[in-house]
């Protein structure tokens, strides 16, 4: 019986994917790149900033991979937004997470966002105490769609990959979950853009449906 649930964060626990795209368009424009297309950007959903920069290099020939000031600018603009508007929420997330925690599931977050962002978001939602582990893929050699962050999370929790369920909104995340040998539930968030749900073992939307599935 699978008793460990690993959640992606952006697009699953908080509704940040549309916000991230708008911020990156603004930041890239400040650095001389106008109109980065969504078709280019969507390939990075679920993965890291460096993965995004690789897509930008391939599509536009501009290399941001060794320019940390670009990431710092993104962080600043995002922080300003969150301070004014708060975290973009997904309906029923806190209630469902606490329900699963009280049912005895071991819960973790495995996200491509920075560690501080994960910790801040879970605290803001009031569910940080429900998670046994909050894990960032930043700095890992192979980001999603590679399975590294999920395998690392399972190792840290002391469980086998086959004992884990992953909840993911993105194609990259679902590929990573299946490559890790984990059962994958696709959270089919319409705000995450067109993502491949066929990769997953099961599909969930809205978030409260997780109660029925699990």
Catalytic residues, which ones?
A: 8, 10
Angle at 67 between CA 153 and CA 7, to 5 degrees: 20
Among residues 93, 101, 94, the alpha carbon closest in space to that of 206 is found at 93
| DSSP bridge partners of 135 | 110
Non-local (6+) Cβ contacts of 102 within 8 A are none
- Which helix (H) or strand (E) segment is 166 a member of? strand 164-168
CA nearest to 178, candidates 194, 192, 162: 162
Distance, CA of 18 to CA of 200 (rounded, Å): 22
Helix residue spans in the chain (DSSP H): 17-30, 38-41, 49-60, 68-85, 93-102, 115-125, 148-157, 171-179, 210-213
And the tokens for 142? 């192979």
Q: Which two tokens stand for residue 124?
A: 């803001």
């Amino acid at each position: 019986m699978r008793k460990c649930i690993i959640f992606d964060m952006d697009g699953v626990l908080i509704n940040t994917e549309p916000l991230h795209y708008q911020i990156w368009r603004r930041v890239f424009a400040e650095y001389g790149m106008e109109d980065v297309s969504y078709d280019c950007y969507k390939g990075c959903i679920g993965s890291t900033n460096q993965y995004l920069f690789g897509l930008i290099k391939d599509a536009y020939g501009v290399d941001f991979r060794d320019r940390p000031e670009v990431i710092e600018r993104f962080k600043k603009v995002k922080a300003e937004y969150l301070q004014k508007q708060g975290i973009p929420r997904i309906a029923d997330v806190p209630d469902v997470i606490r329900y699963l925690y009280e049912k005895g599931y071991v819960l973790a977050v495995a996200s491509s966002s920075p560690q501080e962002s994960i910790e801040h978001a879970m605290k803001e939602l009031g569910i940080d105490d429900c998670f046994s582990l909050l894990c960032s893929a930043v700095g890992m050699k192979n980001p999603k769609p590679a399975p590294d962050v999920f395998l690392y999370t399972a190792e840290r929790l002391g469980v086998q990959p086959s004992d884990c369920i992953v909840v993911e909104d993105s194609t990259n995340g679902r590929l990573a979950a299946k490559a890790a040998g984990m059962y994958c539930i696709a959270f089919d968030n319409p705000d995450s853009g067109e993502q491949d749900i066929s990769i997953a073992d099961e599909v969930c939307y809205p978030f409260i449906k997780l109660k029925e599935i699990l």
